[in-house]
Amino acid sequence: MTKNHHSPLFRLASGFLKYFLLALVGLAIAWVLSMTFGGSYFVVMLLPLVEDWILRLAIILLCLMVTAIIFESLR
């Protein structure tokens, strides 16, 4: 068994990235299924709200990853 040599901040950021990408895949699947079953009006109504939240979370996650990478490279 190998020991993980990454900092806790880097592990936190990579965990957030994993769950963020899983959420994006889930939203894509839900979007395709709702379009297939005729829920396009509901999707179009929620799209600006979801798009705004995804963009904000992506920016926060990007800043967290950059901070973790900088600290990891200084170590």
Residue 25 covered by a domain: yes
Q: What is the pLDDT of residue 43?
A: 80
Where do the DSSP E strands lie in the chain? none
Tokens 């979370």 appear where?
57
Q: What is the pLDDT along the chain (75 residues), one digit of tens a residue?
A: 467 787 888 888 889 999 999 999 999 998 888 888 887 788 888 888 889 999 999 999 999 999 988 988 887
Residue 44 covered by a domain: yes
**Host domain of residue 24:** 8-74
Q: What is the pLDDT of residue 2?
A: 62
How distant, in Å, are the alpha carbons of 43, 44, 66 from that of 15? Answer: 28, 30, 14
Task: With beta carbons less than 8 A apart as the criterion, state whether 31 and 43 touch.
Answer: yes
| Count of structural domains within the chain | 1
Residue 3 covered by a domain: no
Pairwise CA distance, residues 11 & 8, whole Å: 5
